Amino acid sequence: MITPMSASSSELRVGSVPYLVGRPLDHGLGREPGITLEHDVPARLIERLRGGEIDVALVSSIELFRRPGYRYIDGIGVAGNGYVGSVQVFLRKPIQEAASIAMDPASRAAAALTRSLLYEREGGAPEFIEVPLGADPREAKGADAWLRIGDAALRETLTIDAPAWNPSEEWRKRTGMPFVFAAWIVAEDVDIEPHLEAFRRARENGRSAIPALAREAAETWRLPEAQCLSYLAEECSYDPGPAMAPSLREFQRRAALADLCAKDLLPEPVHL
C-alpha cells in the first residue's frame, strides 16, 4: 500500500512531464503550500507513481487502466480536439500500406492510441517495433513509419520532408470526442482533496501564461513562435470538461480490444 504522506515528508509529491505541453497544467504548482513538484519523462513518472515515490503524476491516460486503485482529477488534462502536432506518425509509405511502425518509447498514451486505431485497420495491424528509451525511432531498421512525440515531433514536422498521419485527428474523426493524452493520476490512498484548488489554480495560471510559454519555447527549441502558440492555445485543450470521462472509457474499450490494458478497471474521478 502506498503511504502518501510518509514520515520523511508531509508534502504531496507531484510529478509532471518535462515537455512544453505540461507547462499550462503545472505552472506555479511547485510554489503551492504543501506540494513538491518534479519533472521526469512519462515512463519514469509511471514507475515512480507505481513505486510510491510520488503521489500524483501528469502521465499517460492509458496507465489508468493498467493498475487498480487509481483515481484521476476530473476535468483537467492534456487533450486534443483534433490535430495535435506533438504526436505524429511520420510515413515512408501510406498508413494503410505500412507493414511496420517504430514506436517512440517516451510515451504510452500516444503509443496505445496509435496501436488501438491501427488494430482496426483493414488487412490487419502493422508490426510495432519497440525501440529502447533514448533511441531514435526514425533509425529503426526496416520501419515503414515512426511515431514521434513531444517537442521533437514539433521540430520534425518542420525539418523533414515526410507526410504524417495524426492519431489525435483520426480519433476525433472516429469518435467525435477529444482524446485525453494525459491526466493527473492519483495513487491509491492519497488524500488529494485538500489540494484540488492548487491544481485548478495551476491550470488557470498556466493558460494565462501561454503566450509567454510559447515565446520561451520558440527560443529554446528554435521553433516559430506562431507554431508554439498555435500548439499550446489551439491544438491542445487543458479543460476536457464533461467529455473527459466518456472519452477515457472509449479509449479503454478500444485499447482493451487490442490487449493493451484491462477492460474491467474503473478508476474513480475526483471532481473539482
What is the pairing mode between strands 12-16 and 236-237?
A: unpaired
Task: Spell out where 133-260 has E strands.
Answer: 145-149, 164-165, 179-186, 236-237
* Of 6-20, 51-65, 98-112, 205-219, the least confident: 6-20
Domains 12-78+180-223+239-270 and 87-175 share a fold: yes
Q: Domains of the chain: which residue ranges?
A: 12-78+180-223+239-270, 87-175
Candidates 2.90.10.10, 3.40.50.12280, 3.40.50.720, 3.40.190.10; CATH matching 12-78+180-223+239-270: 3.40.190.10
Instruction: Tell me the C-alpha distance between 251 and 116, whole Å.
Output: 8
Looking at residue 99, its amino acid is A
Residue 9: what pLDDT? 53
State the residue for C-alpha cell 529503426.
140
Q: pLDDT tens-digit profile of 46-71? A: 999 999 999 999 999 999 999 999 99
pLDDT higher for 73 or 158?
73
What is the pairing mode between strands 179-186 and 71-80?
A: antiparallel
The arithmetic mean of pLDDT across residues 193-207, rounded, is 98
Tell me the fold of 87-175.
Answer: D-Maltodextrin-Binding Protein; domain 2 (3.40.190)
The arithmetic mean of pLDDT across residues 70-92, rounded, is 97
Burial class of residue 101 (count of CB atoms within 10 Å of its CB; 0-12, 13-18, 19+): buried
Residue 177: what pLDDT? 97
What is the pairing mode between strands 56-60 and 179-186?
A: antiparallel
The arithmetic mean of pLDDT across residues 230-258, rounded, is 96
